[in-house]
């Protein structure tokens, strides 16, 4: 079998539960569903850090943020750019004989471009604005105070998502005349709030039909102080579901518009007869609170609303169709390792992820997953999370910790950290945390903090 083409699509702030095949009763995602149906749907894919820049640096390096060193966005107190001479997954894939392209959002470091990290071609987002102006189309309206509105000046075919899909389809067409397979990465800004979809997507979902998220009605009792501050500081503390439902409706509209453009690309692969030997991965950098727990965006929480993400993978020549995999996956470090392995190269030592295709073949996978956060727009605020199939433990280094029984409380409303009945689980999860801190060379891997975790020397807020 010849080397496969690789198409990796990463959206921005797409929640796991906002996909039809993941159980949402309203949102329409026929092409994401198709990828899941014709390949594998990972039901426990998680981001290594629920923030844009660190995740994209993980995707470039195949490493945990604590390993590559980028733990903040550009506006974080301790942001530092990723060294372009660092280990680079795109550089390794290009050297394996691939024609490599990056389309869309970069958001790694302002001073460099994808070309500095091994890509051969780059089509940035800002070109869409020039194209739009050249077409005589008015600029997109303001962001509606951060909550979005409708873009009345364009048809769906004139949207940024459609424009990028056009560019990708053209690149795939042209690449058929070359001997090398393609490696295409498409990073979208959508469905990141504020969402501004055109009609008919802006009105596709009726706010009155959308039910609140499972975590919406959270009184924040026995929760870290920062969570209440996030509501107050963002001005969302008094918003009702009637206020949030139109925001979620536009969010769903952007997701469906994105899905339809993915479908156009999948149709092109079919038309060219190359779908069978093309590895396609769809995922997102992280989710969006989008009103859950009364919050917007992300930051300072480890709820599944933002750390759990959709992830589907299809390669008909290699992956058996119709699989639903419940093992834990770290999307931004496992997907890079998988892409390198698909080229025929060994996964390099610098990659911390695993080859997911080999895992499917061997029936091996993780039993739990970790995530990290270091603060950003609101000051430094360190958090670490470990989650398995029932329990989630969040270590808030400067506030009370959190423990959730996800079997009985999927919305993560009740913090059980003070319950004597769960002392054994807390001890077990803290021991797992210490193991992971050491394994990933985490900045909190010091004897004082490890002693606190292992001996339970942590104040519970009482």
210-252 per-position pLDDT tens digit: 999 999 999 999 999 999 999 999 999 999 999 999 999 999 9
User: What pLDDT shows up at residue 143?
Assistant: 77
Instruction: Output the pLDDT for position 77.
Output: 74
Query: What pLDDT is recorded for position 1?
Result: 61
Instruction: Give pTM, 2 decimals.
Output: 0.97
Residue ranges of the chain with pLDDT lower than 70? 1
**Distance of alpha carbon 228 from alpha carbon 123, whole angstroms:** 40
**Domain 5-369 coded CATH 3.40.720.10:** yes
Where does 146-224 have alpha helices with state H? 160-175
What is the rounded distance in angstroms from the CA atom of residue 364 to the CA atom of residue 381? 34
**Assigned CATH for 382-462:** 3.30.1120.10
What is the residue whose two structure tokens read 């594998």? 40
Q: Domain segments of the chain: what residues? A: 5-369, 382-462
Residues 293, 215 contacting (CB under 8 angstroms): yes
Which CA distances in Å does 368 have to 305, 311, 329, 429, 436? 17, 17, 9, 10, 11
Length of the chain counted residue by residue: 462
SS3 434: helix
What is the dihedral sign for C-alpha 362, 350, 431, 69? Answer: negative
Q: Which residues pair with 396 in a beta bridge?
A: 383
> Chain centroid to CA 138: how far?
31
What is each CA distance from 45 to 274, 332, 452, in whole angstroms? 27, 10, 29
């Amino acid at each position: 079998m010849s080397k496969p083409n690789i198409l990796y699509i990463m959206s921005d702030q797409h929640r796991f539960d906002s996909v039809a095949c993941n159980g949402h009763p309203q949102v329409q995602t026929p092409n994401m569903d198709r990828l899941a149906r014709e390949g594998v749907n990972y039901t426990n894919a998680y981001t290594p850090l629920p923030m844009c820049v660190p995740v994209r640096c993980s995707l470039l390096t195949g490493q945990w943020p604590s390993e590559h060193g980028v733990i903040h966005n550009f506006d974080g107190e301790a942001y530092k750019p990723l060294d372009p001479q660092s280990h680079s997954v795109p550089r390794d894939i290009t050297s394996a004989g691939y024609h490599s392209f990056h389309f869309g959002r970069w958001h790694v470091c302002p001073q460099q471009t994808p070309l500095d990290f091994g890509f051969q071609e780059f089509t940035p987002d800002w070109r869409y604005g020039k194209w739009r102006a050249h077409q005589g189309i008015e600029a997109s309206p303001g962001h509606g105070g951060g909550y979005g509105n409708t873009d009345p000046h364009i048809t769906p075919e004139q949207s940024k998502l459609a424009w990028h899909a056009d560019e990708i389809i053209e690149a795939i067409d042209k690449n058929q005349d070359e001997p090398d397979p393609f490696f295409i990465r498409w990073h979208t800004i959508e469905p990141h709030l504020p969402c501004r979809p055109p009609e008919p997507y802006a009105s596709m979902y009726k706010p009155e039909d959308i039910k609140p998220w499972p975590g919406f009605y959270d009184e924040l009792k026995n929760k870290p102080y920062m969570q209440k501050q996030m509501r107050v500081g963002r001005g969302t503390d008094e918003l009702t579901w009637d206020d949030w439902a139109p925001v979620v409706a536009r969010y769903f509209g952007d997701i469906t518009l994105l899905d339809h453009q993915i479908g156009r690309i999948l149709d092109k692969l079919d038309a060219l007869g190359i779908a069978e030997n093309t590895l396609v991965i769809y995922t997102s950098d992280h989710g969006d609170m989008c009103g859950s727990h009364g919050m917007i965006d992300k930051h300072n929480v480890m709820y599944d609303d933002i750390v759990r993400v959709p992830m589907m993978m299809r390669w008909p020549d290699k992956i058996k169709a119709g699989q639903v995999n419940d093992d834990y996956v770290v999307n931004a470090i496992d997907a890079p390792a998988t892409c390198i392995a698909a080229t025929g190269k060994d996964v390099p030592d610098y990659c911390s992820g695993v080859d997911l295709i080999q895992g499917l073949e061997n029936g091996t996978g993780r039993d739990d997953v970790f995530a990290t956060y270091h603060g950003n727009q609101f000051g430094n605020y360190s958090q670490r999370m470990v989650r398995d199939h029932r329990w989630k433990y969040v270590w808030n280094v400067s506030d009370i910790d959190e423990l959730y029984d996800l079997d009985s409380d999927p919305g993560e409303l009740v913090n059980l950290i003070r319950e004597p009945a769960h002392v054994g689980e807390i001890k077990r999860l803290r021991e797992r945390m210490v193991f992971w801190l050491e394994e990933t060379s985490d900045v909190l891997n010091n004897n004082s903090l490890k002693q606190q975790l292992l001996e339970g020397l942590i104040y519970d807020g009482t």
